[in-house]
Structure 1
Amino acid sequence: MTLASGLWLLVTLGRSADDRRGETQILAVARWWAEVQRRRMARWYDTGTADLAAPLTGMPALSYVATRWTVGLLGGVVLLAAAIGAGYASLLVWGWFLVDLDQWPLVIAPATFGGLFLLFLCIQGVHAVALMDEQLIRHFLGPSDRQTLERRIGELAKSRAGVVEAVHDERRRIERDLHDGVQQRLVALGMLLGRARRTPDPEKSSELLRQAHEESQQALVELRDVAWRVYPAALDEGGLAAALETVAERAAIPVRLSCELRDTPPPTAQAVAYFVAAEAVTNAVKHSGAEQVTVRADRTGELLRLRVEDDGRGGADASGSGLLGLSRRIAALDGTLSVASPAGGPTIITAELPCA
């Protein structure tokens, strides 16, 4: 296939487009073969080449197939050398059948060492051939600079719209918390104070004032909870570790916390990681029936990773309003959010945030 494509490409190199109209079948076959190779790389190399844009014409695919013979030839040489190295390295096991024991140290030992060294070189060669294969397919079949920019603009526009929607959802939630919680407390407080002023009985007035005091304390607690859900002060004072400790302390079930951050992540990444942990713990308490939640935060290079796992019944909906809002926030930072929640549990929520 590669040889035929190369010969055809050389024969038709100087021909016009009108002369090539009747040769679409060869282009279609080359495009099909290039697509097979792209899927192979996406599956075995885990390079993300599955999302590469398909060529608009068959010529890029044909050029890729025609030039790939060099990589294939090099890969064959590497595999042949690996087979030879394996043969020499295995002499340590069966070579004593061929060589006298008196000559064994002088013949078998150097051959075995050379075979092992050749195998080591072949391992490096396989990695190099894989990289060359990836670069080749990206060069011929990858998106152009314009396509890459257009896709990036689309992603930014989508993430910006998602962030705006998440902000609106957060505002609606704050309004609902204030209306259903703090506002009701303040209304009850005003009514109790009004009754205390109007009653002539000192004992009843004292009781009403006591109830009003309790209502004011409850209103203050709820107001603090609302402010804490908007943005915790511990995040600025003690960083992500301190903020996650407040999440564990406020949870109604035990929360195991592990926070290993050698370098301090950016404030934006810390805030998003905190909100992911808070939402995940809240969902575990309210919906999963979990008895314990484990929260782990660590930073590897330029990546902040947060993992929240509970032992509940599972079945979490990743498209729910809470997790959907978090996914929009994470997408705005070019991060990823994954939710694994099979029936019967456990539920594992993982967020990865870039810190560059």
Structure 2
Amino acid sequence: MSESATFRTRLRTLARTTLGLVLGALTAWVEFAYVVVGGLALALPVAREPVFGGARWLSEWERRRIERFFHTENATDYTGRRALSYLAVRCVLGMLSAGIILLILYGAVSGVIVLVQYSHGKSPLGTAVPARWYDLLPVGALGILLLFVALQGLAGTVSLDRKFARRFLGPSSQEMLRRRVSELSVSRAEVVEAVNGERRRIERDLHDGVQQRLVALGMLLGRARRATGVHAAELLRQAHEESQEALRDLREVTWRVYPIALDEGGLHTALEALAERSAVPVRLRYTLPERPPAALETVAYFVASEAVTNTVKHAAAGRIELDVRREGGSVLIEISDDGIGGARPGGGLSGLARRVAAADGKFTVDSPDGGPTVVRAVLPCG
């Protein structure tokens, strides 16, 4: 993105946020009056339902305002009591925003007045001495300081606005449970699809690789039995070579099913073996301080293995960088190359995304045309 486009984007964001603050400052006075009157009305049992209903209506307006202008989403299943509590806190914050905005407007008007006085030869310091150019320095410094403090205050009110909405209007335990059940249902279906895909790939590798080698080996041995002399020796030599190729193909298939190095030496050892077997040079950086759980090691290995395989087949790359490190409470696996880029979701990458999602991780692919391609998986590690 160009600098001009970035500047326009930031300017639009600033204008949108400012408009959201102004609207929140205006509605704060309505909410303050509603909280005072509604709080008194709660003494009457018959008025509680209408008061809570009105609180929900006002809170919904605030929720939509925060979602539209601050890009923060919240749930809609909160109760009327929680809505009224939210309004009681939000109206104070809104009035604080209104005070800061009025202070900025007052400072802007005062600055214009000072400039007008200075242009007419009057000192901005209010003295009888004629205006001098350095009289503007203390006034300007004070104005800049007050503007900085006011802008920081506005930024703080935006942050508090989001936090209060998340605290009072955030998803309830039932909503979080429903979301989790939905995520688990999707993950289960994706795991089943990923397992079926792995089975189909193994069957294809056995059929097109090992099985064809064994058929050729059987034919060579049959011809060797019927042949004599030098010709039989040559056929036996070819059969021996074919058996070695079949063993190598079978070893590749079993390695792709589950590398025994994961059990014997852990993820680091398995990735070292992967780097040694790659047709494209792989630079491995492994900085995990301790061995992660076995389930995480399995997912991490297959992410790296599939990504390296795809790079070798399709990226026309000269080198591959494989980085495994800890980030907070997660393990990050990052595979990058200097190839032609243009990788799109689908095929092996979609299978990797399903495998990572089943482990509650995040999977991303950044591959612009011309490269480089960066495949990243973040796996939570308890």
Cross-structure match for 1:91: none
CA distance in 2, matches of 1:231, 1:345: 31
CA distance in 2, matches of 1:60, 1:242: 54
Q: Secondary structure at the match of 1:343?
A: coil
The residue type equivalent to 1:53 in the other structure is A
Residues 108-163 of structure 1: per-residue CA shift (max 9 Å, x gap): xxxxxxxxxxx9xxx9x999977754442123321221111011011011101111
| Structure 1 segment 1-356 matched on structure 2, within 5 A | 1-12=27-38, 13-14=41-42, 16=47, 31-42=60-71, 49-50=72-73, 52-54=74-76, 64-72=86-94, 133-199=161-227, 201-318=228-345, 320-356=346-382
Shift of 1:247: 1.5
Shift of 1:248: 1.1
Q: Secondary structure at the match of 1:166?
A: helix
Once the two structures are overlaid, the 10-residue window that deviates more, 136-145 or 61-70, is 61-70
Shift of 1:207: 1.2
Q: Secondary structure at the match of 1:342?
A: coil
- TM-score where L is the length of structure 2: 0.71
Shift of 1:172: 0.6
Identify unmatched segments of 5+ residues in structure 1: 43-48, 81-118
Q: Is the 8 A contact 1:38 1:137 kept in 2?
A: no
Assess, with a 3 A threshold, how the Cα gap between structure 1 residues 151 and 278 changes in structure 2: closer, same or farther.
same
Q: Is the 8 A contact 1:290 1:310 kept in 2?
A: yes
Q: Is the 8 A contact 1:314 1:341 kept in 2?
A: yes
The residue type equivalent to 1:306 in the other structure is I
Identity of aligned residues (%): 51
Identify unmatched segments of 5+ residues in structure 2: 1-26, 103-147
- TM-score where L is the length of structure 1: 0.75
Shift of 1:174: 0.3
- Alignment size in residue pairs: 308
Q: Is the 8 A contact 2:315 2:339 kept in 1?
A: yes
CA distance in 1, matches of 2:68, 2:271: 42
Assess, with a 3 A threshold, how the Cα gap between structure 1 residues 266 and 156 changes in structure 2: closer, same or farther.
same
The residue type equivalent to 1:2 in the other structure is A
CA distance in 2, matches of 1:58, 1:340: 44
Q: Is the 8 A contact 1:263 1:299 kept in 2?
A: no
Shift of 1:70: 3.0
